Structure 1
Amino acid sequence: MLMFHLAILVSDGFDEQAVKASQSYFKKQGYSYELVSPKKSEFARSWSYKDWGASYAIDRHIHEADPTAYDALIMPGGALSIDNLRTDSDVQTFVQSFVCNNKLIGTLCHGVWPLLDIGYIRGKHITSVRTIKVDIENAGGIWEDEPVVVYGNLISSRTSDDMPDFHRILHEILQSRLQVLRPNSS
């Protein structure tokens, strides 16, 4: 049985609900995942609604993470986290590798920001939290107010409320790619 391996990109201030829900969902699907971060410490602090949440162990530092080892990248929301990530050159290189290798990239809420900074949004349909709609449009993207938007290898969602649909669709796309790789598997 082929298991998928996911990278969840975080820094201090990531949306705790999004990461916990993603970990739970993908663990039930039999996927493995790693929290990847450019932070030099062992932990990243989450943000839970209006205050700091729990700290989560970083599984892999961005310098040690090989993008080819992952089947998909998830960039959860949390404006503080994503703002720390978006201009980090190591993060940009890591994300660009997923783009160049046509691997799935899932974004939640503000998670799309690093894609704007590498110029990947131009001409693409995407959704996000409404507060960055203008950022997407200014980067040449086509913003849609839908729970989930799929455009090529990019899967985007507005908020944590849309996560059940986001998870289901990401899972379905990974499964369909598996069928292409192994058409006789059942």
Structure 2
Amino acid sequence: MNYPAAMTRLARLDPTGVRQLPLNHLPWICMFHVSILGLIYGGTAAWLSRDMLLGQGLLKLTLAGIPVAFLMHAGAALFIWVFLKALGGNASFLTAYFTLGVAAISLWPVAPFLAMLQAQSPPGPAIIIVCGITGLYGLAVTAKMIQHAFELSFVRMVIALSVAVLYIGCFLYLWI
């Protein structure tokens, strides 16, 4: 199976196509997806704050989204791996890391709305709704990828992912 076909299946909540990709391609796909996620988020944040920056540093702020995306990706992978291992998941940390990285393609649509949500105070209801819908879609794709990679039952996956999302959400709330 080729990359576009596997990503199309993944977008339709069918992660089986990813397993058919060559194993040595997963790290590159992971890096590509997380980098693009960081560029989308950083670019939107830079565009929204262009008046504050007065044309200075727009490229730097756009590129700053990449390390932020990798930091969040690594943290989320670690938390999810810990909670899934506690419930009997049988995958290594790198499997969780690469799985989340491949699933990051589903978070591309939420990134600009998340940047808008953070930039506006108070955010408009349309931004909140669109951010919620795209975020739920990204979470659904990620959950299917995780369930497939860790070979967990649906109930165990939901429990572990719920605890991880709560923990990560609290962590992000304290960070922001």
Superposition TM-score, scaled by structure 1 size: 0.26
Superposition TM-score, scaled by structure 2 size: 0.27
Q: Name the structure where helix makes up a greater proportion of residues.
A: 2
Instruction: Give 1 or 2 for the bigger CA radius of gyration.
Output: 2
Relative contact order, higher structure (CA 8 A, sep 6+):
2
Q: Name the structure where strand makes up a greater proportion of residues.
A: 1
